[in-house]
Amino acid sequence: MILTAFIAALGQMTDRRFRRVLLLGLALTLALLIAASAVFVWLITGLVGESTTIWFVGEVTWLKDLVSWGSALLLAVLSSFLMIPVASAITSMFLDTVAQAVEDEHYPNLPPASSVPLGDAIRDTVNFLGVLVAANIAALLLYVFFAPAALFIFWGLNGFLLGREYFMLAAMRRVGRKEAKLIRSRNVMTIWMAGTLMAVPLTIPLLNLVIPILGAATFTHLFHLLAPQGSRG
């Protein structure tokens, strides 16, 4: 079932609407990361000041440059680590377009789907972003203490979170939030496994950038495979 959904989604990746969502999501992600980096470096250098007095050393003027370069390096590492969760969350605001493209191609006889209100979409995106970033930062400790299993922890954690979010996005368009949660609860392991399939390519540069789109398409198919026949209209 999972492979059926994945292969069907993969076959539609050249869709014009998929490309538009991908480019928009990447542009917003880069803008957010650049802005956050600039503000962080500005705050850090502002706290240090032009010169600092160090005990036994005296007044030094190079500390500001050291902190600036150190902060920039730290942000570069964190940005590369957090870019995918951030891109996934931001792109989720536009995944209704992906789901509609999938249904137009593969399920043309369905009645129109119910659009998620903009306020709800923004709220869900912010919540998803917060959970993704917080969970991945917290997992850094697990990566240190369980280094040999770090990759599997990353796959399992992000697979669970991505699967949960993308399934809900696909399902709520058709059955509403309450029924979507019920269907998800009955198929937890299937959704987690499908999410893990999405999480594995997150560790592959460039390929990881299309995962939000591929995930949304895959879980739209998966919803239609898992949902009771009478509840998909």
Determine the structural domain holding residue 63 and report its residue range. Answer: 2-231
What pLDDT score does 169 carry? 85
User: Please, what are the averages of pLDDT over each run of 10 residues along the chain (233 residues)?
Assistant: 88 86 76 71 62 49 56 58 62 78 90 76 76 81 84 88 88 88 93 90 73 87 84 57
What pLDDT score does 57 carry? 47
Question: Is 213 in contact with 193 (CB distance < 8 Å)?
Answer: no
DSSP 153-200: HHHHHHHHHHHHHHHHHHHHHHHHHHHHHHHHHHTHHHHHHHHHHHHG
What pLDDT score does 222 carry? 94
Question: Is 108 in contact with 101 (CB distance < 8 Å)?
Answer: no
What pLDDT score does 187 carry? 94
Give the total number of structural domains in the chain. 1
The reply to whether the predicted model has a pTM over 0.75 is no
What pLDDT score does 76 carry? 58
What pLDDT score does 193 carry? 94
Calpha distance 120→107 (Å, rounded) = 25
What pLDDT score does 122 carry? 74
